[in-house]
């Protein structure tokens, strides 16, 4: 009998897809899967966990890292799992080390693969900005780790789920940080961390107005494939003020691993590669045949992006 506890992340009615990926991973590793859900989105966990621990607390209508970590740590103490899993989303990256500190457990972060080997676990994770992949054998239990979003598929909802209310003993110190204001992103903007396809623009885009071309490509691709398509950006494009930082991919942006990654007018500096080199298929469009992006690309077009992208849009529209 093995048990996994998974932190399910969401807000309001919206459950993060990355949490479903973590639950699928947990189901493959453990006989019992328990999910911790905080708020109404926990209703969407049905079919993905054997049991859901539901925290209903008005102070968590917008979940903040500290009380969420406390809830997870208390759920851990109650359940005694041998595996504790948090998705390595930007929010999960705040919650996981806090929970580890509260439990006195070391954290293995940003894991891309894990399997059991007898009583041990074998884990892999990218190191040195993704240049090498480290493989670890861990004998100690319980194990706390965070899993990189998009490294595992979303499972089918097959489990019969029971839900029970859970009231963790919060401490006053858990609420010393409060939310002052929430600035919503533009409607329809898909987060690069959750996208199936990312179209990233770099300095080669020349200006913010030309990102409209990438958005048109995204909309055609999404219409034709049904995939979630997001717009990414290199740091140069963000620093120029052409696009918001939430789109930045790389070492100081988001780490992504979508099914398809388009790098348009991006040179492929190592800090950029650190965020996207684990994408399944990389397509680079760059007029410089020596651009380093071609060293990681599966497909490359050496040409002017202002010619290639409109042509791609026209061909996709024509089917």
Nearer of residues 44 and 235 to ligand FAD, judged by Cβ = 235
Q: Does 287 bind ligand FAD (CB under 6 A)?
A: yes
Q: Does 13 bind ligand FAD (CB under 6 A)?
A: no
Q: Does 269 bind ligand FAD (CB under 6 A)?
A: yes
Q: Does 204 bind ligand FAD (CB under 6 A)?
A: yes
Q: Which of 286, 294, 300, 312 binds ligand FAD (CB under 6 A)?
A: 286
Q: Does 237 bind ligand FAD (CB under 6 A)?
A: yes
Q: Does 266 bind ligand FAD (CB under 6 A)?
A: yes
Nearer of residues 66 and 301 to ligand FAD, judged by Cβ = 301
Shortest distance (Å) from residue 35 CB to ligand FAD: 32
Q: Evaluate whether 269 touches 251 at the Cβ level (below 8 Å).
A: no
Size of the site for ligand FAD (CB under 6 A): 28
Q: Which residue minimizes CB distance to ligand FAD? A: 250
Q: Which of 40, 161, 271, 316 binds ligand FAD (CB under 6 A)?
A: 271
Nearer of residues 252 and 314 to ligand FAD, judged by Cβ = 252
Q: Evaluate whether 149 touches 196 at the Cβ level (below 8 Å).
A: no
For the beta carbon of residue 116, count every other beta carbon within 10 angstroms: 14
The backbone torsions φ and ψ at residue 275, rounded to the nearest 5 degrees and listed phi first, read: -95, -15
Nearer of residues 168 and 204 to ligand FAD, judged by Cβ = 204
Q: Does 35 bind ligand FAD (CB under 6 A)?
A: no
Q: Does 251 bind ligand FAD (CB under 6 A)?
A: yes
Interface segment toward ligand FAD; rule CB under 6 A; list 65-73, 138-146, 171-179, 302-310 = 302-310
Per-residue H/E/C for the chain? CCEEEEEECEECCEECHHHHHHHHHHHHHCCEEEEEEECHHHHHHCCCCCEEEEECCHHHCCCCHHHHHHHHHHHHHHHCCCEEEEECCCCHHHHHHHHHHHHCCCEEEEECEEEEECCEEEEEEEECCCCEEEEEEECCCCEEEEECCCCCCCCCCCCCCEEEECCCCCCHHHHCCCCCCCCCCCCCCCCHHHCCEEEEECHHHCCHHHHHHHHHHHHHHHHHHCCCEEEEECHHHHHCCCCCHHHEECCCCECCCCCEEEEECCCCCHHHHHHHCCCCEEEEEECCCCCHHHHCCCEEEECCHHHHHHHHHHHHHCC
Q: Does 272 bind ligand FAD (CB under 6 A)?
A: yes
Shortest distance (Å) from residue 251 CB to ligand FAD: 4
Q: Does 311 bind ligand FAD (CB under 6 A)?
A: no
Q: Does 130 bind ligand FAD (CB under 6 A)?
A: no
- Tell me how far apart the alpha carbons of residues 137 and 124 are, in angstroms, rounded to a whole number: 9
Nearer of residues 46 and 251 to ligand FAD, judged by Cβ = 251
Q: Does 4 bind ligand FAD (CB under 6 A)?
A: no
Q: Does 305 bind ligand FAD (CB under 6 A)?
A: yes
Contact residues: ligand FAD, CB under 6 A: 202-204, 234-237, 248-253, 265-267, 269, 271-272, 275, 285-288, 291, 304-306
């Amino acid at each position: 009998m093995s048990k996994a506890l998974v932190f399910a992340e969401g807000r309001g009615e919206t459950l993060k897809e990355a949490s479903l990926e973590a639950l699928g991973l947990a189901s493959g590793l453990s006989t019992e899967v328990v999910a911790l859900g905080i708020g109404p989105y926990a209703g969407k966990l049905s079919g993905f966990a054997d049991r859901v621990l539901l925290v209903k607390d008005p102070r968590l209508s917008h979940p903040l890292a500290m009380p969420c970590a406390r809830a997870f740590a208390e759920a851990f103490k109650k359940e005694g799992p041998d595996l504790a899993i948090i998705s390595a989303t930007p929010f999960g990256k705040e919650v996981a080390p806090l929970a580890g500190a509260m439990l006195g457990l070391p954290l293995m972060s940003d894991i891309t693969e894990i399997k059991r080997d007898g009583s041990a676990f074998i884990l892999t994770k990218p190191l040195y900005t993704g240049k090498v992949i480290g493989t670890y054998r861990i004998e100690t239990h319980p194990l706390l780790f965070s899993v990189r979003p998009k490294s595992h598929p979303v499972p089918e909802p097959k489990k019969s789920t029971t839900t029970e209310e859970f009231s963790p003993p919060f401490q006053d110190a858990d609420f010393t940080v409060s939310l002052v204001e929430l600035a919503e992103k533009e409607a329809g903007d898909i987060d690069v961390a959750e996208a199936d396809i990312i179209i990233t623009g770099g300095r080669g885009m020349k200006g913010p107005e030309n990102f409209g071309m990438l958005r048109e490509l995204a909309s055609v691709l999404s219409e034709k494939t049904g995939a979630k398509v997001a717009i990414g950006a290199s740091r140069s494009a963000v620093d120029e003020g052409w696009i918001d930082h939430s789109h930045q991919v790389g070492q100081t942006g988001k780490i992504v691993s979508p099914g398809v990654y388009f790098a348009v007018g991006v040179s492929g500096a190592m800090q950029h590669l650190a965020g996207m080199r684990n994408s399944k298929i990389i397509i680079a469009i760059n007029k410089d045949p020596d651009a380093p992006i071609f060293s990681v690309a599966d497909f490359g077009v050496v040409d002017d992006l202002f010619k290639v992208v409109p042509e791609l849009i026209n061909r996709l529209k024509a089917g």
